[in-house]
Amino acid sequence: MKYILTLDQGTTSCRTIIYNDLGKTIATSQSEYTQIYPQAGWVEHNAVEIWNTQLQTIKEAVSQAKISYTDIAAIGITNQRETTVVWDKDTGQPLGNAIVWQDRRTADICDQLKAEKGMIDYVRQNTGLVIDAYFSATKIKWILDHYPNAHKKAEKGELLFGTIDTWLIWQLTKGKEHVTDYSNASRTMLYNIVKLDWDGKMLDALKIPKSMLPKVKPSAGFFGKTDKSIFDGVEIPITGVAGDQQAALFGQACFQEGMAKNTYGTGCFMLMNTGNRLFNSQSGLISTIAWGIDGQIEYALEGSVFIAGSAVKWLRDGLKIIEQAQDSEYFAKKVKSAEGVYVVPAFAGLGTPYWDMYARGAIFGLTQGTTKNHLIRATLDSLAYQTKDVLMAMQKDTHIQLKALRVDGGASVNNLLMQFQSDILGTEVQRPMDIESTARGAAYLAGIGAKIWTKEQIAELWDMDRSFKPKLKQHEVDKIYKGWQEAVKRSMGWTKEV
């Protein structure tokens, strides 16, 4: 039997999952790592800690699976996207902490870019994105602007940039490979998703030398092999790489145009496969490369919600009104509804469809009768409302009426949330047996890259756990959703005004 080892490097934890060649999960290991918040709106990770934590989960998973490194046919990597690491090519040392996708420190660089004539349209048409601090480009600029001699060193080819996939491959190959895949490259705001090359105009605008950037490869194929010193002398090929949301789309077998998935993790990310069509969204969605396989690129339309499961984490760690994330369902069930309370978790601004870097979190509709249960319920509701905002934008752009939404990610186990999601969307919500679609997608890509599976075989492996059908009446949905829209409006622009 052949095994595929998958690294899922998420925003809050590192995971390693091992699959056999029938697609069955054999072992899972997960470990959280440090979230660094140096000041309001800043979010950092220590890239060295990420690598060490990831490596520890690999070793744990292999020992749990009772296999040896020689049994592993291929490695797949999937990762939190956009998070930016810049390191010294010779020493391998990062210049400083990685700047995480949620970090808002480059809002002013974005404003300057937006002010350049024609730039907003240029960015949308060529990178598929909107100008926002979310993406890697302005984070790289910030690093080059703030570390001593960084611009000079970068121009001399002494510095390298990578998203986390690139950083992990660099570590696994002991500095032999500086590579990424199409899906990750398309999140940098530096990659031209039409011409399939780094975009000279964007690099010039931000003064980023091309020599810092990794080589871009198809998502399934050979990325390099692990250095002998890491896994007891065994060299394992890395044959699949994709950003976590694109990997989840793949893991959910959304292979046909118009199929969509929504992942409820730290954030919420809905992606719709648009095949070879590249949408120029007028509704605040972004276009991105879903994957590139066998010389063929497929695109996706994406709605990115920055805070979803992490709002539940805030109930646990910030407010301390629940002990574990799953308690949220227990307390939320104690009330019929949020009874007019709305939590807008704009802790890191708002993404799709609002793109407001200055919005901040707010709670509306409090009365003397409001209890912690209402707050918890309203927080869960906010995941569903944000998803509706995204789906409405998607339907406006594509005129595609979804038959069903496939869901996955940590918070998708919450049945109350999934039922409310279906109610508020008026659409069936389908949860697969395995909600780890992200890791599964990376395993599938690695399996294709290692010629273990075909896409057709993968589509047959998708298996449903539970389907949620809408129960709430339309007029009730309209009423409560109107309240949400009003609440969002009032939380926008907050840090600009106050």
Ligand X SMILES: O=P(O)(O)OC[C@H](O)CO
Ligand Y SMILES: Nc1ncnc2c1ncn2[C@@H]1O[C@H](COP(=O)(O)OP(=O)(O)O)[C@@H](O)[C@H]1O
Which DSSP letter does residue 212 get?
G
306, 355 contact by CB (below 8 A): no
Residue 101 or 191 having the CB closest to ligand X: 101
Strand pairing class (404-408; 260-264): parallel
Is residue 101 a contact residue for ligand X (CB under 6 A)?
yes
> 141 is in the binding site of which of ligand Y, ligand X, none (Cβ under 5 to 8 A by kind)?
none
Is residue 414 a contact residue for ligand Y (CB under 6 A)?
yes
Residue 10 or 218 having the CB closest to ligand Y: 10
Report which residue type is found at 9.
Q
The minimum distance between CB 188 and ligand X, in angstroms, equals 12
Q: Name every residue whose Cβ is closer than 8 Å to that of residue 117 and which is 6 or more positions away in sequence.
A: none
**If you count DSSP H runs as helices and E runs as strands, how many of each does the chain have, helices first?**
17, 23
Residue 154 or 383 having the CB closest to ligand X: 383
> 245 is in the binding site of which of ligand X, ligand Y, none (Cβ under 5 to 8 A by kind)?
ligand X
Is residue 251 a contact residue for ligand Y (CB under 6 A)?
no
The one among 44, 103, 298, 329 contacting ligand Y by CB under 6 A: 329
Question: If DSSP codes are grouped into helix, strand and coil, which group holds residue 360?
Answer: coil
> 82 is in the binding site of which of ligand X, ligand Y, none (Cβ under 5 to 8 A by kind)?
ligand X
Element (H, E) at 79: strand 72-79
> 312 is in the binding site of which of ligand X, ligand Y, none (Cβ under 5 to 8 A by kind)?
ligand Y
**245 annotated to bind ligand:** yes
The one among 105, 313, 374, 440 contacting ligand Y by CB under 6 A: 313
350, 104 contact by CB (below 8 A): no
Q: Name every residue whose Cβ is closer than 8 Å to that of residue 231 and which is 6 or more positions away in sequence.
A: 69
Q: Name every residue whose Cβ is closer than 8 Å to that of residue 250 and which is 6 or more positions away in sequence.
A: 242, 290, 291, 441, 442, 444, 445
> 81 is in the binding site of which of ligand Y, ligand X, none (Cβ under 5 to 8 A by kind)?
ligand X
Is residue 6 a contact residue for ligand X (CB under 6 A)?
no
The one among 15, 45, 81, 153 contacting ligand X by CB under 6 A: 81
SS3 track for 230-270: CCCCCCCEEEEEEEHHHHHHHHCCCCCCCCEEEEECCCEEE
**266 annotated to bind ligand:** yes
> 349 is in the binding site of which of ligand X, ligand Y, none (Cβ under 5 to 8 A by kind)?
none
Q: What is the CA radius of gyration of the chain?
A: 22
Q: Which residues are annotated as a binding site for glycerol?
A: 81-82, 134, 244-245
Q: Which residues are annotated as a binding site for ATP?
A: 11-13, 266, 309, 410
Binding-site ranges for ligand Y (CB under 6 A): 10-13, 265-266, 309-310, 312-313, 325-326, 328-329, 409-411, 413-414
Q: Which residues are annotated as a binding site for sn-glycerol 3-phosphate?
A: 11, 81-82, 134, 244
